[in-house]
Structure 1
Amino acid sequence: MSLLPGRLLTSGAGAVLPVAPIEVDGHTMGSESLLRYLQIKVHHLIQEQPWDSIRVVGGYDRRAVISQYEKNGKLFNWERPTAEVRDRDLLVKAFPGTDYVRHYGLIIATYLAMTGRPADHITYQLPDPALCRTAVEQLNLGLDGELVIVGWALEHLAPAGAVWTRGSGYAWQRTTVHGRRVVYLGFRHSIWGDVAGRVVRRLAELGAGDVVYVGKVGALVPQIEPNTMLATGNESLVNDALVTWNDFFGDFASAQPGVHTGVHVTSPSILLENRDWLTKHAEYAFVDPEIGPMGMAARNAGIGFGYLHVISNNLARHYPADLSNERHRDVVRRRAVLIGRIRDIITNRLAAHLS
């Protein structure tokens, strides 16, 4: 069974499917930045030695071999897929989610091709929907109408010095802001793509009143320099259909200086965002894998949802900062300023609700 470069098949759970590397020359990141991005994502066992076969599956297994490239100095979003050695074969275990399993398969295949190694032995196996649901159902905390803030930079958004209560793969803390009960919720593992939608659905089941997602998006508008502005909105293109949700921020966030608003595009993998993809979506403003599934889940559950993200990279024009050098000192400094702006906007939005 053959697979065209960069194409992801949509067969059902359990099928073992081959994955081929993308055409690097057409990718919006450019080959140099793309390779740097892949090098910090690919498990060290894959970078260090050849394997007869590599299969990516859905499975949250911290007992398997942990990658040496995990950024474990962070409180959240630092766990990466683990690996289980089976003689000359390698089983790579990603957190159960269709988008994440496919995405990581593309990462491995493209990395191997870019480093001059065979990539025709890479496969992925889509996780069963029941496994995906069960993995997210490990999230269990009592909620009663709270605003839940989930995502990135939470350690800088939550009250300083407060103790995080730890669960299975996640941690949270509760506070009150201008009379509204607020829960900050972070995950050690990635909640990529459809996983993020399941997280919102689970939060609604547990009693959340609103969910705000703080993270990073890519800009599709050439003039926006990375790490200088924030993004917000209440619409996303998901599988070529426009999804709209009840925006927690209303018009408040978009009216603030330094905040760009527009229609978002949901993309299941950064590896698929080539020049043809960009041309097709040039009329839109932002891209990431999570916002659309989260907004759709919130809409279906009847709760409010909003996002307020750092614009971290630009697909339409080359800038020095991109997804391959996020640990650079200047990038970190600029993002710290924007995180402060996110904190202020959320706080002021809650204060405005009282007036």
Structure 2
Amino acid sequence: MGEQLHRYVLPKVPELDLSDVQAIKVYGSPSLALLLNAKPLDTKLFNWRRPEFIRLGSFLHCVTSPGRDYTWHYAKLIATAGLIRGEQRPVLLTQPKRYEMDWFIDRWLPHSLPDADVVVFGYVQQLFGREAEGVPWNHCHGFGWKHIDVAGASVLLLGCEFSYWGDLAGSLTAAILRREITSWVLYVGKLGSLDPSLAPNQWLATGQSSVVDGVPFTWRGRLQYVRPTGRMLRDICHVTMPSVIDETREWAVEASQSCQVVDPEIGQMGRAAVKAGASFDYLHLVTDNLVKDFDQGLYDERSKHVASQRKSLLLEAEQMIRRGIIQTC
């Protein structure tokens, strides 16, 4: 993000009095009650819980949802905010164990979820307005869902109040598939481009491969058999990174030699699907460009212009999902 980095980082890390703070401790908690209500509920049903900052003695505690990638991401955010504000403190990171991540998801994911031909994560509030209209959201702590009919197939729209960033998305995918709710998971989200020709908020991307921890792998999807929309990028090379702050200029130059897009979740979800023998697809809005400045990016996501462009892309994503359902269900 270059000179715009502060616009992304600083709103995520509150400006607190650190004059007598010895260090900042970052760790995950299994309690949703410790996650901050950072979004007005009348405008956003999902993804509104945020890490809480708590002062205890000479330490400032940052409590997040218990994902290894998410705790790493927030430790990097805090360290970067300290550099920008000129008030650096040691950042002490305690990452959760894998079993703690899985336990957290199993604890909060409702056991009453119905079976479906496809489970859709991500931008679920914005999809299938015609079919979902009049169908109320079922709510519990952490999640909400709708069970609707689309072109004769059952679709479970699954929303989440907290951020299932990075490998926590893999745990969520694994839990859904382990419970045999579906054999097809589809994630509608956003990612960054490593291709200088791709302007933000103009393209959708999908594929069946990613590079995670330096290891490339592929999974079985269904959208590769579906006729694409006009602004669809297909069969592209994706790389999974745990934090936006890890995506430095030097890294982007090297990664762009072999990959076109990047985000924290796709490879983790695809790997979980491979392990379960299920189908996985992503259908993502290309929302920023890491190698060329288009004056749009993660730092201005709430502008009216960006919102209008994304609404148009989500309509195309919905059209693509319909085609996939009709053709493969």
Q: TM class, shorter-chain normalised?
A: over 0.9
CA distance in 2, matches of 1:161, 1:336: 21
Percent identity over paired residues? 31
- Alpha-carbon distance change, 149 to 64 in structure 1, aligned in 2, over 3 angstroms: closer
- TM-score (structure 1 length as normaliser): 0.86
| Deviation string, structure 1 residues 143-164 (Cα, Å, up to 9, x no partner) | 4353000112x11114123211
1:188 to 153, 161, 176: 161
Matched, 1:30 2:2: yes
Aligned to 1:203: 176
2:259 pairs with one of 284, 294, 317: 284
- In the TM superposition, residue 123 of structure 1 has moved relative to its aligned partner by 1.0
Give the match for residue 275 of structure 1: 249
Q: 2:186 aligns with which of 198, 207, 212?
A: 212
Normalized per residue, which structure has more helix? 2
Which runs of 5 or more structure 1 residues have no equivalent in the other structure?
1-28
Hey, what does 1:303 align to over in structure 2?
278
Deviations 1:68-122 (A, max 9, x none): x546531111211113321232211110111100110000010011111123x21
How far is the alpha carbon of 1:271 from its aligned partner? 0.3
1:59–1:93 contact (8 Å) kept in structure 2: yes
CA shift in 2, pair 1:60/1:71, >3 Å = farther
Aligned partner of 1:6 in structure 2 is none
In the alignment, the residues of structure 1 paired with residue 35 and residue 178 of structure 2 have an alpha-carbon distance, to the nearest angstrom, of 34
Letter of the 1:107 partner, please give it.
L
The 1:65–1:263 alpha-carbon spacing in structure 2 relative to 1, beyond 3 Å, is closer
Cα distance in 2 for partners of 1:181, 1:224 equals: 34
In the other structure, the counterpart of 1:41 is 12
Instruction: Please state if 1:223 is matched with 2:197.
Output: yes
1:266 maps to which residue? 240
Structure 1 residue 183 displacement after superposition: 0.1
Instruction: Identify the match of residue 25 of structure 2 among 47, 51, 55.
Output: 55
1:175 aligns with 2:118: no
Please report how far the alpha carbon of residue 349 of structure 1 lies from its aligned counterpart in structure 2 after TM superposition: 1.8
Instruction: Please tell me whether the aligned partners of residues 35 and 63 of structure 2 are also in contact (alpha carbons under 8 angstroms).
Output: no
1:112 aligns with 2:85: no
* Aligned 1:54-203 pairs, distance under 5 A: 54-64=24-34, 66=36, 70=39, 72=41, 73-119=43-89, 121-137=90-106, 138-139=108-109, 140-152=111-123, 154-158=124-128, 159-203=132-176
- Residues 64 and 83 in structure 1, CA contact (< 8 A), matched pair in contact too: no
Question: Closer, same or farther in 2 for the Cα pair 1:201/1:64, shift >3 Å?
Answer: closer
Distance across 2 between alignment mates of 1:181 and 1:201: 20
Task: Give CA-to-partner distance per residue, 1:230-285, whole Å, 9 cap, x none.
Answer: 010010011111111111212316x3210012010000110011122112211211
Maintained 8 Å contact 2:35/2:64: no
Q: Does 1:331 find its partner at 2:299?
A: no
Name the structure 1 match of 2:317. 342
Is the Cα contact below 8 Å between 2:116 and 2:155 reproduced in 1? no
Distance in 2 of aligned mates of 1:62 and 1:82: 10
User: Partner letter of residue 124 of structure 1?
Assistant: L
SS of the counterpart of 2:298?
coil
Provide the rounded CA distance (Å) in 2 between the counterparts of 1:248 and 1:229: 19
SS of residue paired to 1:48: coil
Structure 2 counterpart SS, 1:331: helix
Seen in structure 2, the aligned counterparts of structure 1 residues 246 and 83 have a Cα distance that, compared at 3 Å, is same
Partner of 1:9: none
Q: What are the Cα deviations for residues 36-94 of structure 1, in whole angstroms up to 9, with x where unaligned?
A: 1012211x3xx131132210101144444737x54653111121111332123221111
Q: Structure 1, residues 164-220: CA drift from partner, whole Å, max 9, x if none?
A: 111230111101112211100011110111000011100001212100000000011
